[in-house]
Structure 1
Amino acid sequence: MSDLPPDFVDQVHDAWVRERPDLDVTPQGVFGRLRRVTHRVTEELVAVYREHGLAEGDFDVLATLRRAGAPYAHSCGELAEHTLVTSGGMTKRIDRLEAAGLVRRRVSETDGRGRVVELTEQGRALIDAAFTDHVANQHRLLAMLDDGDAEVLDRVLRRWLAHLEEPPAGP
């Protein structure tokens, strides 16, 4: 089935086949490998963030603000929504980033009662450098695959995700 040597997931699969021959445990190959790849890739991605003095959550907040475009600002609620973090968790991240001089809180230009978080010049310079290295790292990781595999994987994951979550409401 594969030109690759057996891996840990194969060992787990074989043990379940032995112990529960009444079940079709073939899905474990997909889910086990997906979980292990996610763990390993996350380690590789986080290593690049650390080179820039950032934790994964810090990178997410700064990247969310940067890709928003000028003035590189979002409300705390929008940041929490974009990064899938609770408002309490977001407050801690923003406090840490603000103390480091990477973001600042200010009054919203559209709602005088509201507050927004925006990148400082220092924050923008840092996320631009970190994102450049992040994209290079992603290219490096995908280069481990055979030609065409990244496109196939992207298509399969896109189709699967379409069954699991609603498409975004807007841009």
Structure 2
Amino acid sequence: MGTHTPLFPDRVQLCSTKSAEDLRNLIAARISQHQQAEQERLDAEREKIRKEEEARAQKASVDAAAVAPEAKQTAVAKAQPDPAAEAARHVERNGPDSHASTFPGHPAFHGIETAATGREVVKIKLGDINARIAPLSISAEGLALLGFKPINATGAAKLYDQAQFPDMCRAMIHGLQDAANSYPLAA
């Protein structure tokens, strides 16, 4: 009973009121209950640790998967033309009265100033963007070329700031208008 003394705060009373056989059975039962409770506690702790490690491993795999698209986006970004050069071409095409902020490559065009306001970001999936602009569609790479990067990716889903949707539409319209102006109809 040395290590199990805390299990028997009533030991004096038990010794004086119980028979030797009853006392042995009571001692065995309390020790058994204590050992069972301790084993359940250890099992629960092991399970908690296992789940935490599983969550860490899952997060690491998600982070690793997110690194690959970011590397691809970096490559796409490096392949993009210089926004300043594009803005100069925009002014050449549209005249000196056209303001740079109407050009899709200009930060003001994408509402970057509003991101600093600390507003809550509502996320929209790329698939939802395509549903809104149907029958047209655009890929994540297309949005990246227009200057819109996903705010994060959940699995294969790319998530964007919903507040930028009107700017995305304007950038797509502007791109379509530039394409139409670059390739006039043959008479």
- TM-score, normalised by the number of residues in structure 2: 0.25
Q: Which structure's residues are more often helix, by fraction? A: 2
TM-score, reference length from structure 1: 0.27
Relative contact order, higher structure (CA 8 A, sep 6+): 1
